[in-house]
Amino acid sequence: MNASQFNVEEIRNQFPILQRSVNGKKLVYLDNGATAQKPQLVIDSITKYYSYENANIHRGVHLMSQEATNAYENARTTIQSYIHAAESCEVIFTKGTTDSINLVAFSLGETLQKGDEILISYMEHHSNIVPWQLLCERKGLVLKVIPIRENGELDLEAVDNLLSEKTKLLSITHVSNTLGTINPVEDLIKKAHAAGAKVLIDGAQSIQHFPIDVQALDCDFFAFSGHKVFGPTGVGILYGKKQILENLPPYQGGGDMIAKVSFAKTTYNELPHKFEAGTPHISGGIALGKAFEFMQQLNLEQVIEYEHSLLMYTEEVLSSFNGLRIIGTASDKASVVSFVVDNIHPFDIGTLLDKQGIAVRTGHHCTQPLMDFYQIPGTIRASFALYNTKAEIDLFAEALARAIQMLK
């Protein structure tokens, strides 16, 4: 299979928002790293739930509660199958990647001792930095950081020196949301395990682009957000190995995460409910299952090749712009292009692109340490999904040329 066999128009027809206009121009949506658009079957599932199935789950004997429970748990099973988790109880519904990482930071953090070390990298999103800083302050731990090279790749030689018997967790992004760098997580997981450390993979920018097999990776935790993989906002997943989750204390207390409550003692529910306190985002969970049903219908090899062709085409087109510098030139990249233009602030370019119907992201992308490394205030970021086209990239390039000309 190759990119030419990928029927992008058939895909685009499933996403109603792509037909709208912005500022009198047809929308060109290139901000998929921030959030992806939703196919019709995901939108319909939310409408169906609130129109015909709205009821609380796991605790009702009436028919609608049972229907909602079945739909919610079927979504969990669908996601389990997609990421190749061994059991559905290893799939924890959360609010998103940030919530998933905070869950691990709290629950695993309760098992750590003063002087233990957490290892992250220089390219992490703030949601994979700040929770560990808070944990280190609370428990007297040490946070260490893997440096990066100028091209946006990890300094892998430094990893061996940073890992030690004190390292209890490596928490690292699979794909950089700013640079597009695909990190060699398989090798990093092996190195961390050899040192006795557990591993959390931030999959917020990888789950939508290529297949994920958590058992083959052998990661201990894998976190991602629903809204970046064509599902709704406010829902996400934490995968964790069953044995590890069973040995961790719960993150929050409340309904559904308990087996028995008395004023003397409370015993906790079995997995996955132990980590799912309170009424969940039911419609979101069901819709996330539908997003993965959409993903299951795709030929992922074609998707990977097609998105890579968009990346290569964009970088080729941008190479013709004088004074434009791409930030992040790793040899292995996902479909993200960040760049700066000499003497022009990214915000100004982004504003003028929006006037021409082009949606990109500008700023530090929640990676301020990365901006400090490159000594820039931010970048313009174009991030692609399977429904984008080379024709849209041409429109983007034309709009960018006009914006630069206006701002000189």
Strands 117-121 and 167-173: parallel
Cβ contact 205:177 at 8 Å: yes
CATH numeric code, 3-30+300-407 = 3.90.1150.10
Task: Specify the pLDDT at position 266.
Answer: 86
The answer to whether 281 and 234 are in contact (CB under 8 A) is yes
Q: Give the start-to-end residue ranges of the domains of the chain.
A: 3-30+300-407, 43-296
Range list of β-strands (E), 87-209: 91-94, 117-121, 142-146, 167-173, 198-202
Model-level pTM? 0.96
Question: Residue 32: left if φ>0, alpha if ψ -120 to 50, beta else—which one?
Answer: alpha
CA-CA distances (angstroms) from residue 173 to 59, 157, 198, 356?
Answer: 37, 18, 14, 33
pLDDT of residue 180: 97
Q: pLDDT value at position 1?
A: 40
Positions marked catalytic: 366
Hey, which bits of 66-225 come out as E strands? Answer: 91-94, 117-121, 142-146, 167-173, 198-202, 221-225
pLDDT of residue 20: 96
Nearest to 75, CA basis, from 101, 46, 33 = 46
**Residue 2: its pLDDT value, please?**
53
**CA separation for the pair 387, 214 (Å, rounded):** 26
CATH topology of domain 43-296: Aspartate Aminotransferase; domain 2 (3.40.640)
pLDDT at 408: 84
8 A C-beta contact, residue 245 and residue 221: no
Taking a C-beta distance cutoff of 8 angstroms, is the pair 41, 294 a contact? yes
Grouped pLDDT means (10 residues each) for the chain, 408 residues: 76 97 96 98 98 92 94 98 98 98 98 98 98 98 98 96 98 98 98 98 97 98 98 98 97 87 87 94 98 96 97 97 97 97 96 98 95 96 98 98 95
Pairing of strands 361-363, 358-359: unpaired
For residue 272, cis peptide bond before it (omega within 30 degrees of 0): yes
Q: What is the rounded CA–CA span in Å between residue 305 and residue 3?
A: 5
